[in-house]
Structure formats: C-alpha cells, structure tokens
Structure 1
Amino acid sequence: MHQQHQELLAALNACVAACEHCASACLQEEHVQMMARCISLDRDCSDVCALTARLVARGSEHAAHLLRECAEICQACADECGQHQHEHCQQCAEACRRCAEACRQGLAA
C-alpha cells in the first residue's frame, strides 16, 4: 500500500478512536445536555471516518467523494470540540484537524 494511503488510514483510524472516546467521556460530564452537539458530531465523524477508511483501503472509486465529506465533518467536529475545555474534547479536536488535513491531501494526490 502506498505510504500516503497508510498515513491517511492512520489519521482516519486515530480520528475514529478520538471521537469514540470523546463521545463516551462527554456522556459522563456533569452537564451532559450541554455536550449534545459534541456527542452527535463525534458519533457522525467516527462513522464517516470508519467508512472512508474502508473505501480508501480497498481503492474504491467512491473514496474521493467520501474524502470530501470526511474532511468537512472532521472540521465541523474539530470546531465544536475545540470550544470545550475538557481534555478529551481538545484531544478530539486535534485528531479531527489532522484527519481533515489528511483527507484534503488525499484528494490532492
């Protein structure tokens, strides 16, 4: 597999893990209702990243379409998580930013 694909897959999988962890941690926060959008975006982002990783790994002709969507949702999730001071949100925001950039680079290749 191409080195660039390996780096993209690593970013996608790291984002899945960060989003899943963030959503679970948000559910444990005292004011969970205030975290509703964060949790929702975490779940959506995780699902889209996982699907994108599968399509990239198999060389699907539809991977490019998913990469565009993935970059968009990763950026939205990063923006939302970045507004919260919880460490899990900050870590998720960073993973999402890295993934969005990796998706954009994947499209440019």
Structure 2
Amino acid sequence: MTNSPASATQNQTVLDALNRCVAACENCISGCLGEEHVGMMANCIRLDRDCADVCALVARLVARGSEHAKHLMKECVEVCTKCANECAKHNDTHCQQCAAACKACAEACRQYLG
C-alpha cells in the first residue's frame, strides 16, 4: 500500500458507515419498489443502487488495505451526497433513513480521507 495505513479504529468507523449505507440503500430500493407510484421513485432507486454498489466496493477495498480505496472513496462521497439529497426529497421512512445513512457515510468518508 503506497499510503500510510489507517488505524484499525479509523478503518472500522468508515467500514461501519459504508455497510450501514449499503443496508439502508438496499432497504430503500425495496421500499420504493413497493410504492404505489413506483415510477415516481425511479431516480431514487437508481441512486440507491449506485450508492449501495459503490459503498460495498469501497468497503471491500478498505478492508483489504487496497491502495485504491482512498481514490474511489472520493467518488463514494459524491454518490452518497447525491443519494442523500434525492432520498431527503421523499417523506417515506425508508427514504429518510437512507438519506441519514448516506449523509453519515459521506461524512465518515470525508473524515477518513482527512
């Protein structure tokens, strides 16, 4: 690894946030698909999918100490922020929980990046 390794505590903090975000996004997808007007939730579903996938990938890279983790984490912050903003537009509990998890994940990633 070309960067100095993060502390175990720092790694665990960001891993927890990433994994909570993945779970919240997956839950939001399921909730949105169950909405009466699911077509109106298409953008939310798309962002949830992208966010869950990016967070899962970054979590795997952090866990293995990959030199690519920090580079991709910058994208993760961007996707989490977009997903949080979209989900925050909807009053559904699953969307509000997802927005909170995405916002927390973006913040945890920013702190990890320094």
The whole-number CA distance in structure 2 between the counterparts of 1:57 and 1:47 is: 15
Normalized against structure 1, the TM-score is what?
A: 0.97
Deviations 1:43-93 (A, max 9, x none): 000000000000001110101111100000000000000000000000000
Q: How many residues of Structure 1 are paired with residues of Structure 2 in the alignment?
A: 108
Runs of 4+, deviation exceeding 3 Å: none
Query: Which structure 1 residue ranges, 5 or more long, are not aligned?
Result: none
Trace 1:78-93 onto structure 2 (pairs within 5 A): 78-93=84-99
Deviations 1:3-32 (A, max 9, x none): 011010000000000000000110000010
**Bigger Cα Rg:** 2
Normalized against structure 2, the TM-score is what?
A: 0.93
Q: Give % identity.
A: 68
The whole-number CA distance in structure 1 between the counterparts of 2:85 and 2:51 is: 12
Q: Which one of 14, 17, 20 corresponds to residue 11 of structure 1?
A: 17
Query: Which structure 2 residue ranges, 5 or more long, are not aligned?
Result: 1-6
C-alpha RMSD over aligned residues? 0.7
Is residue 71 from structure 1 mapped to residue 77 from structure 2 by the alignment? Answer: yes
Query: What's the counterpart of residue 60 of structure 1?
Result: 66
Query: What's the counterpart of residue 112 of structure 2?
Result: 106
The whole-number CA distance in structure 2 between the counterparts of 1:3 and 1:64 is: 16
The whole-number CA distance in structure 2 between the counterparts of 1:12 and 1:5 is: 10
The whole-number CA distance in structure 1 between the counterparts of 2:59 and 2:86 is: 22
